Structures are given as C-alpha cells and as structure tokens.
Structure 1
Amino acid sequence: MPRVIIIFVDIFFPTRHASHYNYINKEDIYNEIKIQEPAKNYFNLKSCTYQDIILNNIDVEVNTITDYKPFKRPLSGGEFQPKDCVALIKTALIVPYRNRTEQLHIFLNYMHHFLQNQHIHYRIFIVDQNDTLPFNRAKMLNYGAKLAIKLNYDCLILHDVDLLPLNTGNIYGCAKSPRHMSSSLDTFRYNLPYLSLFGGAVSILSQQYEKINGMSNIFYGWGGEDDDFYRRLATNGLTPYRFSPEVSRYTMLRHKKENANDNRFKLLEEAVDKSNLDGLNSLPHRYTIKLEGLYTHLIVS
C-alpha cells in the first residue's frame, strides 16, 4: 500500500517535487569542469575542447536509446582515449551491478558511443556483487572507486546501470564540487523529488571521495545509502550542486525494483557517527579483476 500511495502522489501531485532549485547555467558549466594538465604530446596533437560540446547540446530521443550506436573499440578493460586530440578530462565510470544482462548490453553500447563523442579519456568499471545477500549498491561503488583511485583516476562517476543521459552536453567529467548529474529524470517527469537527493548518476573528485571515506557498506537492499552519502558530504563541508536541467536529463530503463531495506532509517541514524570506520577503509579484500573487451570487471564475493 505505501508504494501505491507514493506512485499516486508522484503522478497526480507533481508540484510536490523540488521544481525550483539552484543550478549552474549552461553558459557557465565549462568554468566548473575540472580540466587536467595535458599529457605528454608526442604527436603534436591539439588539446581536446569541451565548451562547444556543452553549448551545442543535442537532445537524444528516448525511443532511440536501445538502437545500436557505433563506437570505436576501446582498449582491453574498457579504457578509451581519443586519437585526434589530447584529452583534458580523465574519468572512471563506476557501475554497481548484479544480474542485469540486458540492461548492461544497452548501457555499454550507448555509453561508449556517448563518451567517445565527448573526447574524454575514460574507463568503465562494472562491479559485480557475486553472493546471495541483498544487493549492496554503495559497497560495490566503494570497490570500484578504490580500484579507480589506485589506477590514478582523479574523477569518479558513480552510475546506475539503468540510467542513460539524454543530453550530449552533459560532460562526463568532475566539477569543483560533487555533482548530482541525473537531476532531471523521466521517471519523475523530469522533476527533482527532493533537494538532498544524491544518487543515480553523480560525479565526485577522488580526493573528495577519500575525504568522506566513500560510502557506507552497511546498506543491503534498496534505500538509505544515497541519503547517508549526502550527509557524509555535508558533514565534511562538501555541498553538492547541479547543472542546468537543459543538460541533465536522463531516462531510466525498465527493471524489477530491488526489495526495500526495512531497517534503512535506523541504519541512517547510526551511519554518520561511524563514517570514519565504515567505508573505503573497511572493505574486505574479496574480489577478482577481469579485463573484458568493453569494461573492467570487478567480481566481489
């Protein structure tokens, strides 16, 4: 019954959403993106540029999402660097995953095509929970982040496998502050459900993620981990922000919902006090790494 009520309210009372919120205008986005120093340029290539990609934003039609999209074959492990310019954005795309084969195929095809058109240096990490416990999204993100940081990725994008960006100007790089990327989602009629939402697709600098000790590892099942993530950021003086809805639209692929964690509210009350001991620094070393053709596969047991 509670879920029915929530759905009813979402559909018939859309004004309850946080329709008015502060965001960075499209014209100012480029100045917020963290640009890295160009790598050694052995071929005298020009640096890749990003401002035109943002300003000349193109909307993707939702009904074309599942169509095949051409892309260049990345290196083993899903790493790609443009050949015609020197990338000034280097991103680790980290995706928590379990038993979503059809969605994964759509995601990989779409995202390789999407990211290559942005001329960034990226690598896709699929973090696969291989046990019989309820799904622990945050813990999988921690595993992926820890490996990405070890591999010298300064920008982390934490991304659900069922979300796909609909605006080509939504640059997949980190900003000066943690960024809620998927603030305009079709499931919520492109409204923001509440101001402190920080999940779905977010970007955060590696040093910021380490500062808050990552996310909590105690949330099994649906719900709670995003709210704790937001609290960790706030406690450490990191205020998330958003870019214009014009470049922040996403679509959600259909999927079966995870079972809710009935204990999530109690865990939320306890989690902040334990943040120094629960997160990146408390991950057990129980995983294997496989370099697949389109992604780096972390299998967590």
Structure 2
Amino acid sequence: MFSWSLIGGRSRPSHCCPRHSVAIIVPYRNRDEQLRTFLYNIHPILQRQLDYGIYVVEQGEHTKFNRAMLMNIGFVKALELDDYHCFVFHDVDLIPENDRNMYTCSKHPRHLSVAIDFFNYSLPYKTIYGGVCTMTREHFQKVNGFPNRYFGWGGEDDDTWLRWKMLEKSKDYFNIDGLNSLKYKVMEEDTTSLFTRFVVELNQIEIMQKLQKRLTQT
C-alpha cells in the first residue's frame, strides 16, 4: 500500500533523523471501516513527521469495552518491541486534518484533539482529555497509566486528568489501579505493513474483584 511503510506499521522519514520515536496506541473493537480510513489517512501524515509505529489493541467479544485498559496494554506491548519514549493514545474515529498537529511529546502531557468538527471545533468542557493525547513514557509511568476499572464507555479520560491533579495529594490512589494491576491474555498477535495488532481477552469479574480487594486493603 505504502512503499515506505515497514512491517508492523513502522516508518521513519528518509530525509532526516527524527528526534522522537513514537508509539501510536489505538484501542479497538468492531470498527473495521473506521480503522481502514484511519490507517490510510494517518500514515502519510506521520511519515512526514517522525519515527513511529502503530499498535492496534483489539478487545475480544466477551466483556464490555475497556478503552483505558487497552491503552495500558498497548503501552506495555509496544515497549516489548522497541524503546519508545513518546506515546500517542488515539481513538480510531479521529483523523488530523493537516500536518500542523505534531504527533510528538513535550515536557507536559498534551491533549491533541482539542478542536474537532463534531464539536464545532471547540471543547465540550475544558478538562476533557479523551480522543487523542500524548504522554512521555516517564509521564505515563508516573501516574501508573490509565485506570483499568472503566468497563463500558466514558469516565476513564476524566479520571486520568484527575490523576495529575491528585498526584501531590494521594500517592496511594495510583498504586491501586493502572499499569501495575494489569491482567489480560493475548489471544492473537500479528503484523501487516500498516500496523501491529494484539487481540486480548479481559476478565471483567476477575479484574473488578481484584481491584475491590486492593481498595479494602488501603
């Protein structure tokens, strides 16, 4: 499809040495048409910007969708494959309109999808952190990733924003639910020229019981 794309959805500019190596993490289930549209549009933009890889984390059918946990898994699995220092967590139904939105990390976490056509190019509320956001590996590990407790749509992005607000006041909060409490099973792993895919199964009952046990012990 793209002559410059490497296996596994990897690519890098041929005319320069990029400062950033970025993992694009896409939580996914049952949106084949949107995934194709996303991949065909995002690759040409990213290829002009940086050294990157695209990782699609697909959830099996047996539990409610858990966007945040899939992004945590993508973070862990991407680091098993390369020494990434910047991570972009990206919904499959959002596409940048041009190259002006740089897919890189800065000194602070960034919310990239601050102006989208669905919301008339304005934020529905100022603390929104969903859609597309970037964090360095250090930032993500510092807040213990995203919360795993949100099965079903909504809540995880606001919770993540609050993790930065609460960081100085409640260190125990981050030790309960996140990267250090991940539990999942990889059912499939494959690569194409456009992406690397992990199909995972999540046990909602087991995850929530484990979280409740940890909460009672704090």
TM-score by length of 1: 0.63
**Paired amino acid for 2:174:** S
Q: Which residue does 1:297 correspond to in 2?
A: 197
1:285 is displaced (CA, Å) by 4.3
Cα deviation code 1:52-105 (max 9, x no counterpart): xxxxxxxxxxxxxxxxxx843421111111222211121100000000000011
Q: Which residue does 2:36 correspond to in 1?
A: 105
1:235 is displaced (CA, Å) by 1.8
Structure 2 CA distance for aligned equivalents of residues 112 and 147 of structure 1: 20
Structure 1 CA distance for aligned equivalents of residues 144 and 61 of structure 2: 24
In structure 2, the gaps of 5 or more residues are: 202-218
Q: Which runs of 4+ in 1 moved over 6 A?
A: none
- Further displaced range: 74-83 or 180-189: 74-83
Structure 2 CA distance for aligned equivalents of residues 99 and 78 of structure 1: 20
- Does structure 1 retain, via aligned residues, the 8 Å contact 2:45–2:98? no
In structure 1, the gaps of 5 or more residues are: 1-69, 238-271
**Paired amino acid for 1:195:** K
1:1-301 superposed matches below 5 A: 71-118=2-49, 120-150=50-80, 151-236=82-167, 274-287=173-186, 288-301=188-201
RMSD: 1.8
1:131 is displaced (CA, Å) by 2.9
* Count, aligned residues: 198
CA 1:73–1:99: 2 relative to 1, 3 Å: farther
Percentage identity across paired residues of the two chains? 42
Structure 2 CA distance for aligned equivalents of residues 273 and 128 of structure 1: 30
1:274 is displaced (CA, Å) by 4.2
